[in-house]
Every structure is written in C-alpha cells, then in structure tokens.
C-alpha cells in the first residue's frame, strides 16, 4: 500500500512539474543544445525531480508536518527545481552544436550557474526535516514575540532612542525612532548588538554585560540621562 501511495504521489508531482514547464515538448527544448535525445532527457528530469520532491514530502509527513507546511515546502522545492532547469537550458554541448565558434567561456559560466542552482535544489530538497525544525523554531519565536508585546517592560527613554529590558525574550534592546546612521550601526555591531526585524530593535542577551554595553552605546551617542519607565516586568 505504501508503495502504491508513493507511486501515485510521484505521478501527481510529475504532472505538476510538467505543467510548470509548459509540457514535455516545450521542456524538451531545454536539451536541444545538449543532447541527441532531448525528449528522453526531459522525461527523465521530470521523473527524477518528482521522485526527489516526493521523498521530501514523505519525510515531512512522517514528522507530522501540517498540510500548510508541506504545501509551503513543496512550492519552494518546485521553484528551486525550475530555477535549476532554467539554468541548465542556457548551457550547450559542442558535440551537439558543433565546435565552430563555440562560446567556451560563456558556456563555462552557464554551466557554473547550473551547478549552483542544482546544489541549491538538492540541498533544500534533501533536508526537509531540518526545514521543518526551523519553521517550528520560527513559530515559537513569533509566539514569544507576541507575548512580549503585551508586557510593559522596564525601559529608559532618551531623545530618539529607547532602552528596553525585555525579560520575556531575555534581551536588552535599543529601539531607535528611525534607522541609525552608519556610524551608530557600526557602534552597535561592535558592541554585539544585532538587528531583529521581528522586534524592530537592536538587541543582545539580557545579561549584566549586555546592560553595560547598552549604557556604553548610549553614552557614546551623547545620552546621559533618560526617563525611567518601571513597567510591569520590573
């Protein structure tokens, strides 16, 4: 039964890939400059792509991934496979095209691009469980971030910047009114602060060293005293 289900799944994926490339006949043109049997190469590529993606879907299913997660992973895998095939279509074989005036340097560059796109596809398709684990961690961080947004944390307000001791996320944060200038960004990075798009803050772990680093940054920016907000988490 499992073999039958896998076969049906691969067949459905192959149909989906075939539709994505505009049909076998159109897809075969990808090999017109590289193979004496472009139709056969096209069919083989479709079967191999479907089998590789199908293995990833099976691994995700076994790990309890949701239908939405499987759809998301599958869509990205297909896009990477399409990019791989598109890159390959730009390469040529002098045995097919003829050696006269063959663009060797250009073809080498195209082949390097094909290899890179292929590596990207197989690396992603070969590690579906790692992808799922990252998605779970991201969801956990998002939930924690949402919780942190409901807490009035202890903070100090300075002109143009706020220092927040975010105990929910265990982070010391610097929130600027706008994007800091390049010199300030260099200062923040030198002090081990990293930008968090989700939090809209420059932050590092909430330790004594982290707090002291935040105060050093503020002093170098010319801030000595701020308005204290004790907050609910103080």
d(CA 221, CA 213): 12
Q: Which residue has the higher pLDDT, 92 or 226?
A: 92
Q: What is the pLDDT of residues 157-195, one digit of tens each?
A: 899 999 999 888 889 999 999 999 999 999 999 999 999
Is residue 155 within 8 A of residue 229, CB to CB? The reply is: yes
Q: Which of 3-12, 149-158, 221-230 has the lowest mean pLDDT?
A: 3-12
Look at the chain and count its residues: 234
Mean pLDDT within 67-74: 95
Mean pLDDT within 28-53: 95
Average pLDDT over the chain, rounded to an integer:
88
Beta bridge partners of 172: 165, 204
Predicted structure pTM score: 0.65
Is the pLDDT score of 140 beyond 90?
no
Q: What is the pLDDT of residues 9-38, one digit of tens each?
A: 778 999 999 999 999 999 999 999 999 999
DSSP calls for the chain:
-HHHHHHHHHHHHHHHHHHHTT-HHHHHGGGTTT-S-HHHHHHHHHHHHHHHHHHHHHHHHHTT--HHHHHHHHHHHHHHHHHHHHHHTT---HHHH-STT--HHHHHHHHHHHHHHHHHHHHHHT-HHHHHHHHHHHHHHHHHHHHHTTS--EEEEETTEEEEEETTTTEEEEEESSPPPHHHHHHHHHTT-EEETTTTEEEEE-SHHHHHHHHHHHHHTT----EEE--TT-
d(CA 167, CA 226): 20
Range of 95-99, 117-121, 167-171, 204-208 with top mean pLDDT: 117-121
Q: What are 160's two structure tokens?
A: 């143009």
Q: What are 75's two structure tokens?
A: 């869509």
Is the pLDDT score of 229 beyond 70?
no
d(CA 173, CA 134): 24
Write down the pLDDT at residue 198: 86
Confidence bin at 7 (pLDDT 50/70/90):
low
Cα dihedral sign, 72-74-75-80: positive
Is the pLDDT score of 101 beyond 60?
yes
Write down the pLDDT at residue 226: 61
d(CA 215, CA 36): 69
CA-to-CA dists, residue 113 to 53, 89, 120, 183, angstroms: 21, 11, 11, 37
């Amino acid at each position: 039964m499992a073999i039958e289900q896998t076969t049906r799944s691969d067949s459905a994926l192959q149909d989906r890939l075939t539709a994505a490339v505009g049909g076998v006949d159109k897809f075969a043109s990808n090999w017109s400059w590289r193979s004496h049997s472009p139709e056969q190469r096209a069919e083989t590529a479709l079967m191999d792509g479907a089998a590789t993606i199908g293995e990833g879907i099976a691994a995700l299913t076994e790990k309890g991934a949701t239908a939405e997660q499987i759809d998301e992973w599958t869509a990205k895998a297909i896009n990477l496979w399409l990019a791989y095939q598109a890159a390959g279509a730009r390469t040529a074989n002098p045995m097919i095209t003829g050696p006269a005036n063959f663009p060797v340097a250009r073809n080498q560059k195209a082949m390097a691009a094909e290899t890179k796109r292929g590596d990207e596809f197989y690396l992603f398709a070969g590690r579906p469980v790692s992808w799922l684990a990252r998605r779970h961690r991201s969801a956990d961080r998002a939930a924690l971030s949402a919780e942190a947004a409901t807490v009035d944390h202890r903070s100090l307000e300075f002109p143009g910047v706020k220092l927040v001791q975010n105990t929910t996320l265990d982070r010391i944060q610097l929130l600027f009114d706008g994007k800091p200038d390049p010199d300030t960004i260099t200062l923040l990075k030198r002090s081990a602060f990293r930008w968090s798009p989700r939090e809209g803050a420059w932050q590092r772990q909430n330790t004594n060293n982290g707090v002291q680093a935040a105060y050093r940054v503020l002093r170098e920016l010319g801030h000595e005293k701020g308005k204290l907000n004790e907050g609910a988490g103080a």
